[in-house]
Amino acid sequence: MMKPSKTPIDTALVREIAKLLSDSDLTEIEVQQDALRIRVVRTPAAVTIAAPAQGYAPVHAAAPAPADAAPLATPTD
């Protein structure tokens, strides 16, 4: 945890730095003057990439079940 600062925070300066951060497309700015140090960080937006559409293999009809084979000739005694 940060220790309490005895220097009052200049909110106008913080706003100015935040505006500079936004206008310049930077993600971080740090300013230090004597005992005062101000760091403003902006987390870049996450980039979402869509996955390509998946192609599906064609579905083939099941082969018909083989018919019971009938004997070609009846046995003779």
Q: What is the pLDDT of residue 58?
A: 75
Task: Give the residue, 62 or 38, on which the prediction is more confident.
Answer: 38
Over the stretch 24-48, which tens digit does the pLDDT of each residue have? 888 888 888 888 888 888 887 777 7
Residue whose token pair is 């079940």: 65
Question: How far apart (Å, rounded) are the C-alpha atoms in residues 23 and 52?
Answer: 34
pLDDT grade, residue 2 (50/70/90)? low
pTM: 0.42
What is the domain partition of the chain in residue ranges?
11-41
| Residue 74 reports pLDDT greater than 70 | no
Residue 11 confidence (pLDDT) above 60? yes
Tell me whether strands 28-33 and 36-41 are parallel, antiparallel or unpaired: antiparallel
How would DSSP label each residue in 17-77?
HHHHHHHTT-SEEEEEETTEEEEEE-PPPPPP-PPPPPPPPPPPPPPPPPPPPPPSS----
